[in-house]
Chains A and B, each alone.
Chain A
Amino acid sequence: MRRAFGSLALVALAAGAWEAYKALAPDDGVSVMGVRVMPRADDQAMPHLWTVLARLGEPELRGGAPIWEVLLSACLTTLGIVAVGLVVGVVVGGLLAVLMQRSGFAERGLLPYVVLSQTVPLVALAPAIAGWGGAIMPQWATVSVIAAYLAFFPVAVGLLRGLQSPPPEAVELMDAYSAGWWATLVKLRLPASLPFLFPALKLAGAAAVVGAVVGEISTGTRGGIGRLVIEYSREATTDPAKVYTAMLGAALLGLAVTGLLTLGQRLAARGVTP
């Protein structure tokens, strides 16, 4: 309850700051020696928040469906792509973590590449994945692959730390019972890794949303929220509020994914902890 209130207060604060800046700053922003150091505050660069909210209720195109409907259906499309990407990412990241825990050789060999994988610029990688994958899977699936590419990383690293978290005496105890690798994994390492896995899953969820949005844009996939951000930004000069509605949608999608994962965590933790 208090947390919900705090979150709302933060949103109100951000909205107040937006409007305050818009009211106080000069329309053309602030420039020092010809370099603009503060953004423009005119209606085109920073539409009033109520204009953006009102725009949600108006049709996307003349006579079309209202924007909120279009955004909702786009968000659901992207949510599907995110879900597939997240599942694939979690499975791949999980398997990598288990493999790296199992063998120090695998850890030393793989971990640098796992880290390296995240330094490849996504905008360079996305068209390549779309190009290779396009031949064997539908376009939306290539976007899921891009989402999975970002999502597997926090799971692999977080779960590996979690699997390595049991103290030596707990591992020795399992050895003393001559418990095999599998029994030790299931009875000791996996349960011990949950406090590391849940935050990693949230990071993975957020990464999957970013991956899906960027993936949609760079592969030109239609129907999702990423595509709408690009489409609407082309109309930014004539309809500045419209692009902000798309950004709002993308932000809410991220919130929804993180919220769903938190809910899942609560359900999973019920009955496991005191």
Chain B
Amino acid sequence: MIELSGVTKVFNAGKAAEVTAIASAELSVAAGEFVSLIGPSGCGKSTLLRLIADLVPPTTGTVTVAGKPAARARKDRSYGMVFQKAGLFDWRTVQRNVELPLELRGLGKAERRQRAAAMLDLVGLGDFAGHYPAQLSGGMQQRVSIARALADGPPLLLMDEPFGALDEMTRERLQGELLRICAETGTTVVFVTHSIDEAVFLSGRVAVMSARPGRITEIVPVALGARTEDVRQSPEFFAAVTEVRRALRAPAVPAPAEHK
């Protein structure tokens, strides 16, 4: 689904304020996979997500998404995006917010309405279609944001610390919801987070990044079986959390190691 090879990103290249945000990233994500990017702030994990989304162009290297160059994938709406702030348009109802990507694609009103209603049912907000974002809690707004990202039926979901601003209980509930939604829709997910627990609970693999310069230092596989709430108390869960924590503390190695 995603192929990053030799990707680097240098901001303000050639100027005094030159910053190497990403120094050589290799990553390959298969269809249906859930991969988290984790690392200290400033390690470039959000930049890496934006490179996949073609919101910033790479300085060198190639980004392939859904078998196409990233720019093509963006034009084809091959991914949906969810940010830390829900970023809903507060002058639109919940329903009309979810319809936005469908509107931009030029779908008719009846089909838009039907698709948006289905998406709202998927995230459990079917009864709130006529509400305005200001009338919803932060967690509900983020659900709307997920419904909007999936409305177009993209094969890939890119999420940038989507639950970072939510309280712990809402966050855990939404993590469960997200896994259910991904299973139902078969969506591939790349998920940026700075919470080790969150990364481990959600992901099949956790890509651990280090800062200055940003690089993927290690990719930790997580084998947990069915992700029920009980998993959070299981020894395997703690073992995986410990493994990711170790990888985060490990001194950056010159070449990114990958073990599958």
Contacts and interface: CB of A to CB of B under 8 A. Distances in A.
A251 interface: no
A179 interface: yes
A234 interface: no
Contacts of A138: none
Contacts of A176: 53, 55, 74, 79-81
A274 B134 CA distance: 9
Contacts of A188: 89
A172 B55 contact: yes
A273 B91 contact: yes
Interface in A128-166: none
B101 interface: yes
B91 A178 contact: no
B157 to A, nearest CB: 11
Interface in B59-105: 74-75, 77, 79-81, 83-85, 87, 89, 91-92, 100-101, 103-104
A172 B104 contact: no
A10 interface: no
Interface residues of B, number: 24
A187 interface: yes
B132 interface: yes
A239 interface: no
Interface residues of A, number: 19
A34 interface: no
Contact of B85 (A167, A178, A274): A167
A14 interface: no
B130 to A, nearest CB: 10
Contacts of B83: 169, 172-173
B158 to A, nearest CB: 8
Contacts of A191: 89, 91-92
Nearest to A176: B81
A50 interface: no
A175 interface: yes
B185 interface: no
A177 B89 contact: no
Contact of A167 (B77, B87, B131): B87
A175 B135 contact: no
Nearest to B87: A169
Nearest to B152: A177
Given A172-B81, A188-B89, A178 B135 contact: no
B75 A173 contact: no
Interface of A: 167, 169-170, 172-173, 175-179, 183, 187-188, 191-192, 194, 272-274
Interface of B: 50, 53, 55, 74-75, 77, 79-81, 83-85, 87, 89, 91-92, 100-101, 103-104, 131-132, 134-135
